[in-house]
Amino acid sequence: MPLSPGQSLVIIIVTALVTFSTRVIPFLLFPEGRKIPKVVQYLGKVLPPAVIGMLIIYCYKNVSFLSAPFGVPEVLCGALVVVLYIWKRNNLLSIGAGTVLYMVLVQTVFS
């Protein structure tokens, strides 16, 4: 261990508190008793699709489209997930097939 147990514990607790603070802020700003402003209600409704979109880009953030393999496995498997889902509407099938194909591609063809 590079640090003493005490120092390590401090880091874990600080990391935990800061992480929790990012999750709890909205609930502190708008506690249950108080009426939630209309604009916040509106944001609560429209943020999820926007956030999911952002998360997808977050997942793809380290993919390089300018150098080999040009994001081919990521895009190909992402497309498979979407197409399979539109076709069969089964999330386990989509996620399973996409992940297995991705693992095969990055471990063999694109390794």
6, 39, 66, 68: which one binds another protein (CB under 8 A): 39
Q: How far apart (Å, rounded) are the C-alpha atoms in residues 104 and 49? A: 30
43, 69, 71, 72: which one binds another protein (CB under 8 A): 43
Conformation bin of residue 64: beta by default, left when phi > 0, alpha when psi is -120 to 50:
beta
61, 66, 67, 68: which one binds another protein (CB under 8 A): 61
Which uninterrupted H or E stretch holds 11? helix 5-29
Q: Is 37 a binder of another protein (CB under 8 A)?
A: no
CB closer to another protein, 20 vs 70: 20
